[in-house]
Structure 1
Amino acid sequence: MKLKLPGCRTAVTALLALAGATVAVAQDEDFGALVKRLQSEQPAFAERQQKLLKERYDLSDTPDDDAKMSRGKPVQSGIRVRLPRGVTWDQLAAMTPADVKAKNLWPAGFFPLPHPHHEAGGMIFTQVLIDETKKQTGRDLTRFDLNFDLPQHFLPEFPAPIYLTTRPDLGDVSQGKLVSISNYYELFKDILNPKQLEGLRLLVTPFPQQQFNATDDRRSLMAHLGVSCFDCHSNGHTTASTHTVGDIRPNEHRHRIDTPTLRGVNVQRLFGSQRAMKTIEDFTEFEQRAAYFDGDITTAAKKGVNPLERGSQVHFMAEFQALLDFPPAPKLTVFGRLDPKLATESELRGEAVFFGKGQCASCHTPPYYTDNLMHNLKVERFFNEKMINGRKASADGPIKTFPLRGIKDSPPYLHDDRLLTLEDTVEFFNLVLELKLTTQEKQDLTEFMRAL
């Protein structure tokens, strides 16, 4: 039965948006018309997002003189969230949440960060990943309707190093290359056993996805093979490519996703920022069956869902993921604490804050700095609900405690990328937890986290 609603295109689009479906193609719009329309709309949405980012943050490229990621990329320094006019961080910290809310003083950069085009959503990749993937495999991860929004200097280094729990003697086994279907065998054939190697092959194999597929409801100009797990989790880490979560409705409440690193999944017991799935196998299977297609099983069938066999394929993929280790942290002991003979005075003071006044260790317990639980920060105490570029800033609910080991390698921070630096993160938690840290304590805490 085919339902026709002449003259109701706008209403149908609105209903689809409320249902969380992709606002895509009216039935009378062919692919060429869709491309033309979305390309014409793209500059306005890009301008809207860039205006928001510049209002929220200092986006300058200001690296720290000393702090580096594992392969040497400079870590961005300083507080980048802009304060409301006429107030200081110390003044904000002295207020109650009710006062901050009543006076509308919650910093703009501490509100949820929308997707680059929140109403459209979907996977969006960083330009360095797009360029290297196209160079290696010919697959083009460009979307014709939008581009990634954050500057490259705020993102993880690319390509990221790979450390294996089974071969720590080798250090970075990536050889400075992005691992893809074109080179995974050459790089890993002498390091992995056949089952692990097959798991890695599946992780770098593209499968159809909501925006990248062979139907006329896609966001790539050419019919597409799809995306791989390692497109988002490049080299088992992250490039900060983003998406919107598939399990929240209506669309305005959906979170932008901070693609987390896969390093250290072997020590984690919860997967997904809020879903709390209990094994990496569950998460691997969920991604292919549901997240790739926005939780829409009808669309998945049309676009080419590829159900993975749990006893072999999913298990093999999970086995490789469980080998991904944290980067070396030479100043830490086997218990995950600083070695006083190697740490600086600032790092040692920061450790004392972390385990004391800062209350960080209440959730982030050593040696991997996670308690494998979820916690609700109740940030909504500080602000009134508001719409921000298609995203409703409201209660986030409980969020998984992600490990802090190797945290300097994984900017930006929080579950939706809203915090660009560790300094921003310290200021955020100083307010949310009402800690009243001094300037020196905040600086020392940042130095400690860079040593993890």
Structure 2
Amino acid sequence: MSVSVLIRSLFAVLPVALFVSFMPAASAADEDFAALVKRLQAEKPKFSTRQQGLLAQRYDLADRRAAGTTMSRGKPVQEGVRVKLPAGMTWDRLAALSPEQIKERQLWPAGFLPLPHPHHEAGGMIFPKFLIDETKKQTDRDLTRFDLDFDLPDHLLPEFPAAIFLTTRPDLGDVSQGKLVTLTNFHELFKDILNPKQLEGLRLLVTPFPQQQFNATDDRRSVKASQGVACLDCHANGHTNASTHTVGDIRPNEHRHRIDTPSLRGVNIQRLFGSQRALKTVEDFTEFEQRAAYFDGIPADAARKGTNVLERGSQVHFMAEFQELLDFPPAPKLNVFGKLNPAKASESEMRGQEVFFGKGQCASCHTPPYYTDNQMHNLKVERFFKEVTINGRKASADGPIKTFPLRGIKDSPPYLHDDRLLTLEDTVEFFNLVLELKLSEQEKKDLVAFMRVL
């Protein structure tokens, strides 16, 4: 059979949509790499200004540090509600209105709408500068994108490098030695505390593999041909550095969510993976990321750019075994059931626990000791606003989202599945409205105090 006859036969039996998804990107077909770089670099300031304008309109981005509380390695926790209210409105007055009234009068705070990617139409992985700098210093691998930069200020992000706690060696405390774990130092740091299988899993987690924006093709977004991205580039030290992306499993593009990189701490107690995908094991998620999410769910791009097809038994399982050793940070005020020890907790923290398990209804989803029910819940936030497109992101119904664990939550800003909430105070105001709780000002403060010691 000739090639032309074979192609005609394939089109006769396979859906046209399958072939459309395999078409090469227009930029790669019509524009050489030098022209692509020049064009996107010229457009970069416009989109950066647009995103920074949106952030300034939505949030108070000031560096305001909470007294007496830090993340695990000492970075100050940011305090205060950062979402800006509509002119003339107060949180109490807003909470007194029904969802229908808020929607009709368009009073839903802009900062509670979905947060777009730094350049939502372009999407793709984007890293904070501190991660880019340290990775380049250690490995000579450059994760800089020539078309856009990360958008949120460093003081609102998790500490870097993050502490590492292991379920198998809690006696050691933080085993990071204050270093970012990369391919250059993982063996030195872990050779005496991991077995060979776990060590090999860690090696794979810090090994870069081709990804949609970081690869060797002529439609990449790095100036130099790139080795790619490692799992622990986003989940730095098995935690998070707030690197972001757009989800690969939603279309059209304006409905795709900005991704909050969740911490890998406590993976061993979780039973759902991916904010909405509900993958059932970390092995499933690891394999899914390499085969699909790294390439925006486009099989043709994965094949062309160099997908890394991991072998389930000798690679995926090894990676999962290391991930499942990553523990939550110590919480000295909690007892073995995950609740406060009255002898160690403050009055405010004790009152906050009472709100959490009572009026606040938080424990309906976030059950101790790890403060997750391992289920999906639909908050139906679309009750409060009319559909609107913001910087390329259509704000509409989000659908069900998994319950993320709250253990160690103060170490993992910003919050919600798309980073729209910058502080714990923001999350309390958000859920006070969404769940129609009518919390008092003191109850809100006490609830934040409780979550900071989880």
What's the TM-score once normalised by structure 1's chain length? 0.95
Structure 1 Cα separation of the partners of residues 23 and 336 of structure 2? 48
Code of the residue aligned with 1:60 in structure 2: it is: A
Whether the 8 Å contact between 2:123 and 2:246 is mirrored in structure 1 is: yes
Aligned match of 2:81? 79
Structure 1 Cα separation of the partners of residues 42 and 297 of structure 2? 28
Shift of 1:406: 0.1
Aligned match of 1:212? 214
Aligned match of 2:109? 107
Shift of 1:28: 2.3
Listed one character per residue, the Cα deviations across residues 375-432 of structure 1 (whole Å, up to 9, x for unaligned) are 0000000000000000000000000000000000000000000000000000000000
SS, match of residue 30 in structure 2: coil
Listed one character per residue, the Cα deviations across residues 346-368 of structure 1 (whole Å, up to 9, x for unaligned) are 00000000000000000000000
Q: Which runs of 4+ in 1 moved over 4 A?
A: 18-24
Whether the 8 Å contact between 1:24 and 1:217 is mirrored in structure 2 is: no
Superposition map of 1:15-34 within 5 A:
25=27, 27-34=29-36
Whether the 8 Å contact between 1:407 and 1:450 is mirrored in structure 2 is: yes
Aligned match of 1:12? none
**Residue 304 in 1 paired to residue 302 in 2?**
no
Determine which of 140, 143, 151 is the counterpart of 1:141.
Answer: 143
Shift of 1:84: 0.2
Aligned match of 1:450? 452
Give unpaired runs (5+ residues) of structure 2: 5-16
Structure 1 Cα separation of the partners of residues 59 and 434 of structure 2? 19
Aligned match of 2:178? 176
Structure 1 Cα separation of the partners of residues 143 and 113 of structure 2? 29
Structure 2 Cα separation of the partners of residues 21 and 66 of structure 1? 55
Code of the residue aligned with 1:72 in structure 2: it is: G
Structure 2 Cα separation of the partners of residues 62 and 406 of structure 1? 20
Aligned match of 1:243? 245
Shift of 1:27: 2.1
Determine which of 347, 354, 357 is the counterpart of 1:352.
Answer: 354
Aligned match of 1:315? 317
Aligned match of 2:229? 227
Whether the 8 Å contact between 2:356 and 2:447 is mirrored in structure 1 is: yes
Aligned match of 1:363? 365
Determine which of 427, 430, 441 is the counterpart of 1:428.
Answer: 430
**Residue 132 in 1 paired to residue 126 in 2?**
no
Code of the residue aligned with 1:97 in structure 2: it is: P
**Residue 391 in 1 paired to residue 404 in 2?**
no
Structure 2 Cα separation of the partners of residues 52 and 252 of structure 1? 17
Code of the residue aligned with 1:78 in structure 2: it is: G
Listed one character per residue, the Cα deviations across residues 52-85 of structure 1 (whole Å, up to 9, x for unaligned) are 0000000000111111001110000000000000
**Residue 58 in 1 paired to residue 60 in 2?**
yes
Code of the residue aligned with 2:189 in structure 1: it is: L
Structure 1 Cα separation of the partners of residues 89 and 80 of structure 2? 18
Code of the residue aligned with 2:86 in structure 1: it is: P
Structure 2 Cα separation of the partners of residues 207 and 113 of structure 1? 28
Shift of 1:21: 9.5
Aligned match of 1:203? 205
> For residues 216 and 88 of structure 1, do their structure 2 counterparts lie closer, same or farther at Cα, with a shift above 3 Å needed?
same
Aligned match of 1:413? 415
Listed one character per residue, the Cα deviations across residues 237-265 of structure 1 (whole Å, up to 9, x for unaligned) are 00000000000000000000000000000
Shift of 1:339: 0.2
Whether the 8 Å contact between 2:159 and 2:411 is mirrored in structure 1 is: yes
SS, match of residue 67 in structure 2: strand
SS, match of residue 441 in structure 1: helix
What root-mean-square deviation, in Å, do the aligned CA atoms of Structure 1 and Structure 2 show?
Answer: 1.6
> For residues 82 and 23 of structure 1, do their structure 2 counterparts lie closer, same or farther at Cα, with a shift above 3 Å needed?
farther
Code of the residue aligned with 1:268 in structure 2: it is: Q
SS, match of residue 25 in structure 1: helix
Give unpaired runs (5+ residues) of structure 1: 3-14
Listed one character per residue, the Cα deviations across residues 162-206 of structure 1 (whole Å, up to 9, x for unaligned) are 000000000000100000000000000000000000000000000
Structure 1 Cα separation of the partners of residues 404 and 24 of structure 2? 29
Whether the 8 Å contact between 1:157 and 1:239 is mirrored in structure 2 is: yes
Aligned match of 2:343? 341
Whether the 8 Å contact between 2:365 and 2:403 is mirrored in structure 1 is: yes
Code of the residue aligned with 2:382 in structure 1: it is: E
Whether the 8 Å contact between 2:125 and 2:243 is mirrored in structure 1 is: yes
Whether the 8 Å contact between 1:22 and 1:120 is mirrored in structure 2 is: no
Structure 2 Cα separation of the partners of residues 403 and 236 of structure 1? 15
Structure 1 Cα separation of the partners of residues 170 and 41 of structure 2? 47
Structure 2 Cα separation of the partners of residues 23 and 429 of structure 1? 41
What's the TM-score once normalised by structure 2's chain length? 0.95
**Residue 282 in 1 paired to residue 284 in 2?**
yes
Whether the 8 Å contact between 2:28 and 2:218 is mirrored in structure 1 is: no
Structure 2 Cα separation of the partners of residues 19 and 309 of structure 1? 26
Structure 2 Cα separation of the partners of residues 386 and 297 of structure 1? 31
SS, match of residue 281 in structure 1: helix
Whether the 8 Å contact between 2:186 and 2:202 is mirrored in structure 1 is: yes
Code of the residue aligned with 1:145 in structure 2: it is: D
Code of the residue aligned with 2:409 in structure 1: it is: I
Aligned match of 2:49? 47
Structure 2 Cα separation of the partners of residues 21 and 394 of structure 1? 29
Code of the residue aligned with 1:166 in structure 2: it is: T
Shift of 1:20: 12
Code of the residue aligned with 1:84 in structure 2: it is: P
Aligned match of 2:296? 294
Matched residues, percent identical?
78
Whether the 8 Å contact between 1:159 and 1:234 is mirrored in structure 2 is: yes
Whether the 8 Å contact between 1:23 and 1:120 is mirrored in structure 2 is: no
Listed one character per residue, the Cα deviations across residues 28-68 of structure 1 (whole Å, up to 9, x for unaligned) are 21000000000000000000000000000000001111110
Q: How many residues align?
A: 438
The farther-off stretch of 295-304 and 366-375 is 295-304
Structure 2 Cα separation of the partners of residues 370 and 107 of structure 1? 27
Whether the 8 Å contact between 1:122 and 1:244 is mirrored in structure 2 is: yes
> For residues 333 and 21 of structure 1, do their structure 2 counterparts lie closer, same or farther at Cα, with a shift above 3 Å needed?
farther
Code of the residue aligned with 1:86 in structure 2: it is: G
Structure 2 Cα separation of the partners of residues 28 and 257 of structure 1? 30
Whether the 8 Å contact between 2:161 and 2:178 is mirrored in structure 1 is: yes
**Residue 67 in 1 paired to residue 61 in 2?**
no
